Amino acid sequence: MPGLDRYARAYAPGRVELLGNHTDYNEGVVLAAAIDRGLTVSGNAREDGVISIMSTTMGLVEIARAELQPRTGEQRWANYVLGVANELSARGIPVSGFSAEVDGDLPSGNGLSSSAALAVATAFFLLKLYERELPRLDIAKICRMAEHRFAGVQSGLLDQVTSIFGKADYAVFFDARTEEVRTIPFPTNLSLLIAETGAQRELVTGKYNDRRDETRAAAQTLNVRALRDISLAQLTERSDLAPLLRRRATHVVAENDRVWRAAELLERGDGFGFGKLMNESHESSRTNFENSSPALDLLVDLARGFPDVLGSRLTGGGFGGATVTLCERAQTKNIAQKLGAAYAEKTGINPRIFVCQVSSGAR
């Protein structure tokens, strides 16, 4: 065990999902990017067997290492830290007591994967603290399992992979079945604008797990391992799906197709074509997957009305949260001001809007 005076610090960025909405847990493909906002976890080992986690925004959580289990109520945010400690311990890494402080500029509950960033930063922090190394994809899987077991969200692997494998000025392509990860150049003349609705969303109590169950049921009815294994043409020919499951399946199957096409477009530097696919994605989320919201739809519709906007869609799990808008870099600040003013006029809410730089991954 390292000396108790040993200090460690780790940072993990949030991510913006560019295309591939709810495809990862259906063994599909996704395009995402790490962003220049994230969370830092820092601290020391301690000898009294206590895990102490302090957040500048969420407060203090302390628990005896011997009684490690998920927290409830207002302390649930700490489950992403505790879950990672539990998973690392299960893999033979002697995680004992430690003190950790969480800080950063990544907002929570808005579709930018603050939970995955917290888990990833914790994993890198504890591995540094206890002088261990693991392959990066294994770290992503540990963080996902922590989310499953301690936070109760049956998420896919996209968020963790993007936070770890992100690269400045490159999008991250992830194949959830083959676990292929590669980076694709992002057009340097374009920027991403993140706009928050001001409405919090909660994946555990929301409908994220419902959508996972619905897509699994659709795959079972279609007699395929996952919705990855059927084409839109084949889906159209099937008459044995209930209307609800057909809409859910249509979204996922078409979304996979959009990701494959988008990867080719980005390789060619075709930002206009990419933006059109973002628009198509949001319309499918709105009508087929029903994971949008009136506030998200309003932000998207307003953004699309401005010149120099190439595309706009919800990002992340949906049901509130944030949108991502692709626009000409030179006009980004102007578009942000106009979008904020138009949304405030319609809703009375001044949304947080910021220009998003495509950033490097955890470190």
CA distance 61 to 55: 9
Phi, psi of 119 (to 5 degrees): -65, -45
Beta partners for residue 52, in sequence order: 62, 99
The second-level CATH assignment, the architecture, of 7-183 is 2-Layer Sandwich (3.30)
Contacts with 108 (C-beta within 8 Å, 6 or more apart), sequence order:
77, 114, 115
> What pLDDT is attached to residue 206?
64
Cβ-in-10-Å burial (0-12, 13-18, 19+) of 214 comes to: buried
pTM: 0.90
CA distance 322 to 118: 19
How is residue 51 written in tokens?
């895990």
Q: Which residues are catalytic?
A: 159
> What pLDDT is attached to residue 200?
59
Q: Where in the chain is the domain with CATH 3.30.70.890?
A: 186-356
CA distance 219 to 238: 12
Contacts with 66 (C-beta within 8 Å, 6 or more apart), sequence order:
49
Interhelix angle 332-347/294-304, rounded to 10 degrees, is 140
- The DSSP 8-state label assigned to residue 361 in this structure reads -
Q: Where in the chain is the domain with CATH 3.30.230.10?
A: 7-183
Q: What is the chain's pLDDT, residue by residue, as a tens digit (363 residues)?
A: 444 568 999 999 999 999 999 998 999 999 999 999 999 999 999 999 999 999 989 999 999 999 999 999 989 999 999 999 999 999 999 999 999 999 999 877 666 789 999 999 999 999 999 999 999 999 999 999 999 999 887 777 889 999 999 999 999 999 999 999 999 999 989 999 999 998 655 554 468 789 999 999 999 999 999 999 999 999 999 999 999 999 999 999 999 999 999 999 999 999 999 999 999 999 999 999 999 999 999 999 999 999 999 999 998 888 888 999 999 999 999 999 999 999 999 999 999 998 888 999 999
Judging by DSSP bridges, how do beta strands 190-196 and 322-328 pair with one another? Answer: antiparallel
> For tokens 């893999």, what's the residue?
91
Task: Give which of 100, 26, 34 is closest to 63, Cα–Cα.
Answer: 100
> What pLDDT is attached to residue 325?
98
> What pLDDT is attached to residue 154?
76
CA distance 59 to 75: 8
> What pLDDT is attached to residue 163?
97
Q: In 10 A of CB 217, how many CB atoms?
A: 16
| Cβ-count burial 161-192 (b if 16+ within 10 Å, e if not) | bbbbbbbeebbbbbbbeeeebebbebbeebbb
Q: Are 171 and 32 in contact (CB under 8 A)?
A: yes
CATH number of the domain at 186-356, out of 3.30.930.10, 3.30.450.40, 3.40.930.10, 3.30.70.890? 3.30.70.890
